[in-house]
Structure 1
Amino acid sequence: MSQTIAQYWQQADSFAQALALLLLLMSLISWTIILAKAWQLGSLSRSAGSLAAFWAAPDLQAGCQLLQVAGRRSPYLFLASALPSLLDHPVQHLGRPAPLSDRLIAALRQALQAQTRVLESGLTVLASIASSAPFVGLLGTVWGIHQAMLKIADSGAVQIDQLAGPVGETLIMTAFGLVVAIPALLAYNALGRQIRLHLAQLDGFAHDLHAHFSATQPASPA
């Protein structure tokens, strides 16, 4: 296999080599995203285990400190940290203090949107690589076959051994495209499912925060 790859690289022109390097770059980007997202989701799962301790804390500040122990970048900590300033300082809305419930909803919605962007970052790249890598590999194969045909036409002799070797070597580009695309596609589906589950948990945590603090805090004066 390695000998076939070396032979293809030596016989390929600059365009075919550029396509091979592009597939290699796509593979590196794909695996970097996969490993980074796996670590991120693992950290999120660990931080979700501290929610019981958060609700058992005596106050919001103590609860945030417990979430911080699980990870400074915890989305749960990000949501809870958005509340103290709202609870202590009423916000004016069109000249009047906005109701606490509305302020909580706005802050939690913005925090959820921010965390959704963070969690879903990279998925579009994985989807693009999964859908385009096979075509890049196919383009390399077609280009290699075209170049092999031109060389055979220039030699003036058409024999099966002259055709089988170059064509067989160019088919390796199609295989490379699939090798790049399949892990990206599988990771996109697996990571997307995990992210949806975590976002559902975050949404539930946001609803719990709103229900708890809107009920325990006094309403803003009209």
Structure 2
Amino acid sequence: MDLVEWLQRIMVGFGAAWVMWLMIGLSVISVAIILERAWFFWSLRDDLGVLARDLRASLDDSVEAAIKRMEASPSAEAAVVSAGLAVAHKGPEAAEEAMAGATALQRMKLERRLAYLGTLGNNAPFIGLFGTVIGVVMAFDELGKAAVNTTGAQAAQAAQAAAPQAVMSSIAEALVATAVGLAVAIPAVAFNNFFQRMIKATLANTEALTRILLSHLKANPSFVVPGEGLAAHAVEKPRKAAKVAESRATGGTAKKAASEKAASDEADGEEES
């Protein structure tokens, strides 16, 4: 038995049904990912126009208002701006780097599991085509069997009798495999493109909001967030305490030296008398 005949027997023995079951399983996973990603993007929705206007107004008002407004928004854009506000007291460069890192993290969250949809959309038609090839092989195998078992005019009659039955059913199975592959690929590609478009829009909105914060920081070099004042107070308080202790120690030493000098002068006076 050569390799071609061995592969043919394997294809004919298993048929194309397992390919369609595989495609159905992959489509179930695809639908689950589509629903999960749709819910995820829906949970991040916010009015970005209002958010940008509120960010400008809150920055002009107070830092506390800006932080509270960003924390109240569920959007990925607000999460990136919050990362910049957290280090805004260190300068525009630090805020820009922090927001760049936060943007990278948000991109990873937005693109999670989309690679599966892209891969399935690109390869599902080929898997269906594989099932189609198996169905065609089965059809020709049925024709070959009919020709081998009969001779002459009987071979032609047997081939004609086999065509409406086993041969045509094999061809129908092949076409069904192609249809299943396309049915799985089309939604995966469509939703993958839709989610990729939403990711691009989210990143563009993030860039716009980060520019608003950076422009405010560069226009106000003395911009200080509440955390910096608290940290400076925490550092200054031990310094003041150390100075007080030092002054007390110096004052105590001076008083002690003065008392010792007075006692010495009094003793000298008694000796002279």
User: TM range, normalised to the smaller chain?
Assistant: 0.7 to 0.9
Equivalent residues of 1:50, 1:66 under 8 A apart:
no
Equivalent residues of 2:139, 2:168 under 8 A apart:
no
Amino acid across the alignment from 1:189: N
Matched, 1:192 2:196: yes
Question: Deviation at 1:37?
Answer: 2.7
Question: 1:1-222 alignment to 2 at 5 Å?
Answer: 14=14, 16-46=16-46, 48=48, 51=51, 52-57=53-58, 58-71=61-74, 74-88=75-89, 90=90, 100-155=91-146, 156=149, 157-159=158-160, 160-162=163-165, 163-218=167-222
Offset from partner CA, 1:161-217 (integer Å, 9 cap, x none): 131122112210100011011112222222222321221111111111222134334
Distance in structure 2 (CA, Å) of the matches to 1:198 and 1:84: 19
C-alpha spacing 1:106/1:69, structure 2 compared with 1 (3 Å): closer
Q: How many residues align?
A: 197
Question: Deviation at 1:139?
Answer: 0.4
Question: Deviation at 1:86?
Answer: 1.8
Mind listing any 5+ residue stretches in structure 1 that lack a counterpart? 1-11, 91-99
2:123 aligned counterpart, secondary structure: helix
Mind listing any 5+ residue stretches in structure 2 that lack a counterpart? 1-11, 150-157, 225-273
The percent identity for this pair of structures is: 29
Distance in structure 2 (CA, Å) of the matches to 1:119 and 1:191: 9
Amino acid across the alignment from 2:172: G
Report the more deviating stretch, 13-22 or 28-37.
13-22
Distance in structure 2 (CA, Å) of the matches to 1:101 and 1:34: 39
Equivalent residues of 1:50, 1:67 under 8 A apart:
no
Report the more deviating stretch, 129-138 or 27-36.
27-36
- CA RMSD, Structure 1 to Structure 2 (Å): 2.7
Distance in structure 2 (CA, Å) of the matches to 1:212 and 1:154: 82
Offset from partner CA, 1:35-59 (integer Å, 9 cap, x none): 2332333333326365133443343
- Which of the pair is proportionally richer in helix? 2
